[in-house]
Chain A
Amino acid sequence: MMPPAVRPHRQNRILLAALALALGGLLVGAPAAMAGAIFPESGGSPQADDISTLYKITLAVGVVIFLIVESTLIYSLVKYRARKGGPPAEQIHGNTRLEIGWTAGAAAIVVVIAAITFVYLDDIRNPPASDPDGLQVVGDFAAIDQAPPPGNRGLKIRVNGQQYLWRYDYPQENGRQLFSYYEMVVPIKTTVVLEITSSDVIHSWWIPKLGGKKDATPGHVNETWFKIDKPGVYVGQCAELCGDNHADMRAVVRAVPVAEYQAWAEQRRQDIEEAQRALAEQRRQREESQQ
């Protein structure tokens, strides 16, 4: 009589394992279209892609645990519900071997997840080199914790959060200023390193498709990076409550070919110089009219 009593259990277990495997496989191999619904946004920059991969691996582990816990729970609720003439409850107080087993199992799972995280960490944290056909700027990367891009080649942009606007300061060229607000224009195939700070309250810089968010904290400089392969527009918004209009504090990153970036930068520098000359002119006129 034993086999028929055991078999359904084994079948359940096999079914469960198959289901878990299939779901895990589906999660890891799912198309990018699932991004947003069950995975973080990605596709703009390697950092976002690596974070998404790391997330997917953990989620797959999590789904297996979820299925094991919920199915055991539901199974025991259905199987062991009180029935007339049913078996009485078994007075079990515990089982040391079983308890040590699941403690070790839980510990093993988090150790594995930690190990996988450290495998991906360098690629997520440290910026890669710009492509040979990307913009080649030699900068001084006074990194606190994030390594500079190899060869110190990359575009460094200083990001400053202010209620409710982002300002971007590009490296000066021959003493000529280059800055912009709201929209950050960057060259493709170029590693862009951001140095993020704030001049009033705490804000948080975040363009989901390009990677993780970093707080803009007054008195501190935070760092992150991205590298975009194809021209495109990436949107994001402030992620730390910064006042009444926090929801209106948006940011846009527009990636363009290198030549187009250089043309934009040159035009922008000229516009800034033009505006500064006009300011001087206005001041003179105002002073003359006051005399």
Chain B
Amino acid sequence: MTDQAIRTPVMARPRPEIVMHGLKPRPRGWLEWLTTTDHKKIGIMYLVATFFFFVVGGAEALLIRLQLSQADNTLIEPAAYNGLVTMHGTTMVFLFVVPVLAGFGNYMVPLMIGARDMAFPRLNALSFWLLLFAGIAFYASLFWTPPTAGWTMYAPLSDDAYLPDGGIDAWIFLIHLTGISSLIGAINFVATIHNMRAPGMSWGRMPLFIWAILIYSYLLILALPAVAAAATMLLTDRHFGTAFFDVTGGGDPLLWQHLFWFFGHPEVYIMVLPAFGMISEVLPVFARKPIFGYKAIAASTAAIAFLGLLVWAHHMFTTPTATVVLAIFMITSFAIGVPTGIKIFNWIATLWRGSIVFKTPLLFAVALPAQFVIGGISGIIVAIFPVDWQLHDTYFVIAHFHYTLFGGSVFGIFAALYYWFPKMTGRLMGEGLGKLSFWLMFIGFNMTFLVQHSAGLSGMPRRIYDYPESAGWEGYNLVSTIGAFLLGIGVLVTLVNVLRSLKHGKRAGNDPWKGNTLEWFVPSPPPENNFDVIPRVRSVEPMKDIRREVARNSQQAAGTVAQPVA
């Protein structure tokens, strides 16, 4: 059976036919999208919705940058500025990076492990619709009062005594809706990956992106309940007279910070590990080499996730907390540097002695380690708690986490977009526009955030709507704003590229990149059931085996029968 599967493309056997009676006709048009439980359609809806929120969050970032481009600027009012800061952070974390990864996961996990759908298709649809309505509920606050306490929502500022308006409640609503969406999505990924892998795909033959999505899911399951509890406590503090975070009622504002960051730091790895997984797929394909140190990369993903659960208080180095506690959290934070370093070395070793093909996905994938290493080094610097006393809550920290989240995650996401777009649509993205987009984004990103280190070192705190000329921060901020607009144009070029390629892109065929994993075995776009026959997996690069097999078969005289493959 499995031997036939491998030879199917060459030997063109007739497909088994299934005859059914009394089947209801499938809904067409928009109703089809509304009612679908196909992981690929849900994945595409995830990607469209999250990229929409990415553009909205990006527009908010550009408004922030416009306001800060000059000293003593009066373009945006203080309350509106704080609203922009809060919306930008919340949007990018909860409505873009986390769910866009779920979107790629949704589309790719079943294809890469050789499954016909996710384990719970209807739950999968619910995940998406909850996410969409979370975004709508949150953005509806724009018509009343948007939240202004920052995405970290520190109590007691977020308590009703200081911000009684509904914006904070809209944020709580968003936390719960996206939280449930991510939780059931994560359970779905776990069930799918544990149970539905192709025959032969043992843990040691699972693609690294699948490893990353599995660990992303476990992290979500472990971390989300903490923020759900915190948001519920904030809700009852605001409306039902409890005092979890209110000192005058016997509560403690530090409780919020512990609960929030117990979620918030794993969230950082939730946002970056799948991007690491993405480039662990892209780099070997374009270097024409196997991934260097497969086991080390998979193990370091697990190690980062485990350590990531033990570092939350490094966001709280300036709070009134005993020094011994700060020292412990410094050490655990340092420890994360080791598995992260291992990954970076392994990626470079994957390129070493390769035969590197410079397509757009490779450019974005290579930019990830190049930029992430800066965020990693600045991460070690801010993990030293006495040094963090100077850098905490300044633009140095803004620069640090944008180097990890944008320079890391978003560049990985763009690599994945260029890499998998042909699989999803059947058409290649334009290489010219792709490379233009990459260089604009690469230059724009580094121009925006490199100088922010200096702004922070010279004393510029984050979340300020205005600064005096005498502070000497205007130069840094102007450079940063120009860079941000270059970056914005770069993103737009990719959007144009997507829209253009949908109609005019070159036909991709099944396997335009000579990929290593099973998604390249099926047609582009894949049929609804993904696989007619599920091939047996013999290594971590099943497509290489299949191509080799095909080549061997095609060299034989027509009509001869191959020896069974053991």
Q: Which residues of A contact B (CB under 8 A)?
A: 35-41, 48, 50-52, 54-55, 58-59, 62, 65-66, 69-70, 72-73, 76-77, 80-83, 86-95, 98-99, 102-103, 106-107, 109-110, 113-114, 117-118, 120-121, 124-125, 144-145, 163, 200-202, 204, 206, 208, 211-215, 217-224, 236-248
Contacts and interface: CB of A to CB of B under 8 A. Distances in A.
A93 B319 contact: no
24 contacts: A37-B454, A55-B387, A59-B381, A62-B380, A73-B348, A73-B366, A80-B356, A87-B355, A92-B353, A94-B294, A99-B293, A102-B345, A106-B337, A110-B337, A121-B323, A201-B162, A202-B154, A204-B393, A222-B318, A237-B461, A241-B85, A241-B149, A243-B162, A244-B82
B479 to A, nearest CB: 12
B458 A245 contact: no
Given A200-B156, A202-B253, A242-B157, A215 B319 contact: yes
Contacts of B320: 144, 214-215, 217, 220-223
Contacts of A237: 461, 464
Nearest to B342: A103
Interface string B145-181: 0001110001011000010000000000000000000
Contact of B338 (A107, A163, A224): A107
Contacts of B369: 69, 73
Most chain A beta carbons < 10 A, residue from B342, B393, B453 = B393
A237 B466 CA distance: 12
Given A92-B290, A204-B318, A213 B393 contact: yes
Interface stretch (B190-198, B328-336, B546-554, B556-564): B328-336
A77 B366 contact: yes
The bracket for how many chain B residues form the interface is 35 or more
B233 interface: no
A125 B386 contact: yes
B203 interface: no
Nearest to A212: B389
A121 B353 contact: no
Interface in B131-156: 148-150, 154, 156
Contact of A66 (B253, B345, B354, B374): B374
Interface string B117-132: 0000000000000000
B293 A110 contact: no
A214 B392 CA distance: 10
A206 to B, nearest CB: 7
A256 to B, nearest CB: 22
Contacts of A246: 78, 82, 463-464
Contact of A51 (B148, B295, B373, B387): B387
Nearest to A240: B393
A241 B390 contact: no
A200 B381 contact: no
Contacts of A82: 288, 355-358
A187 B464 CA distance: 31
A240 B388 CA distance: 14
B370 interface: yes
B148 to A, nearest CB: 7
B157 A201 contact: yes
A235 to B, nearest CB: 9
Nearest to A216: B320
Interface of B: 78-79, 82, 85, 148-150, 154, 156-157, 162, 247, 252-254, 287-290, 292-296, 318-320, 322-323, 327, 330-331, 334-335, 337-338, 341-342, 344-346, 348-349, 351-358, 366, 369-370, 373-374, 377-378, 380-381, 384, 386-394, 453-454, 457-459, 461-467, 472
Q: Is the interface of B mostly helix, strand, loop or mixed?
A: helix
Given A110-B334, A117-B386, A219-B253, A69 B472 contact: no
Given A66-B374, A69-B373, A58 B381 contact: yes
B282 to A, nearest CB: 14
A80 B389 contact: no
A223 B393 CA distance: 18
A163 B149 CA distance: 14
A40 B253 contact: no
B341 A102 contact: yes
A225 B354 CA distance: 56
Most chain B beta carbons < 10 A, residue from A40, A88, A90, A218 = A40
Given A117-B384, A121-B386, A217-B253, A41 B458 contact: yes
Given A35-B457, A36-B472, 12 more contacts: A37-B454, A40-B457, A58-B384, A80-B355, A82-B288, A99-B293, A110-B334, A113-B384, A145-B323, A214-B389, A243-B162, A247-B466
Contacts of B345: 99, 102
B422 to A, nearest CB: 19
A89 B465 contact: no
Given A62-B377, A66-B374, A99-B293, A51 B386 contact: yes
A217 B247 CA distance: 10
A102 B434 CA distance: 34
A48 to B, nearest CB: 7
Contacts of B294: 93-94
B380 A76 contact: no
B217 to A, nearest CB: 26
Contacts of A117: 330, 384, 386
A99 to B, nearest CB: 5
Contacts of B390: 40-41, 48, 51-52, 55, 208, 211-213
A65 B349 contact: no
A83 B354 CA distance: 11
A244 B78 contact: yes
Nearest to B291: A93
